[in-house]
Homo-oligomer: A and B are copies of this chain.
Amino acid sequence: MRMGEDRSVAAESGTRARTRRAIVDAAVALLAGDPTASLGDVAAAAGVGRTTVHRYFPERSDLLAAIGADVLEKVAAATERARLDDGPAAKALERLCQEYFELGDGLTLMFETPQLTNWSGWDEETEADRRFLDTVRRGHAEGSIDRELDEEWVRNLVWALLYSAWEQARTTGTSKHSALALCLHTLRKALAP
């Protein structure tokens, strides 16, 4: 082995890694708009041949799994950036909400493509999910989050607000910035005891 990585099977050449990313990114963007888009469509959107897509992801489910892993990774990174343990829990959730908002299409996808959440990485509790629920509990304890709202409800609420904000930006002319502001404003009021 030279400088390259060799995680499980083999290191991926720079070219392969780039093509792979192009396909996954295009798939995320496309499937967010229409979860039933064909692999041919994905290939076209990625600017590669359909054959190439099949070379990287033998079956459709393989592509879905890759997307799932990708989103999961981004969620983990966003959670990291939000520094959930700093300051009041309510504020921490607002920061998290901002970070999640930036995920964009990946977000919509999780909402509209339950099949994504059907692969191995999702059934067991995610680290990010656990950190989220812990933070809500911390908020309950320190009194910065309404105790009437149980953890799962807060989680659902956050996702729903994020989805709404994107929907707002998409359908009405609202800018992403204002949509996020509405989202955070509403979250703050909802969480307050």
Contacts and interface: CB of A to CB of B under 8 A. Distances in A.
A168 to B, nearest CB: 5
Interface string A173-193: 010000000100110011010
A157 interface: yes
26 contacts: A112-B112, A146-B189, A148-B182, A148-B185, A149-B182, A149-B185, A149-B186, A150-B182, A152-B168, A152-B174, A153-B164, A153-B168, A153-B174, A153-B182, A153-B186, A156-B167, A156-B168, A157-B161, A157-B164, A157-B186, A159-B164, A160-B161, A160-B163, A186-B190, A189-B189, A189-B190
A156 B164 contact: yes
Interface of A is mostly: helix
The count of identical subunits is 2
A89 B172 CA distance: 23
Interface in A93-141: 112
Interface of A: 36, 112, 146, 148-150, 152-153, 156-157, 159-161, 163-164, 167-168, 171-172, 174, 182, 185-186, 189-190, 192
A192 B185 CA distance: 12
Contact of A192 (B146, B168, B189): B189
Given A148-B185, A156-B167, A157-B161, 14 more contacts: A112-B112, A149-B182, A149-B185, A150-B182, A152-B174, A153-B164, A153-B168, A153-B174, A153-B182, A153-B186, A160-B160, A160-B161, A160-B163, A186-B190
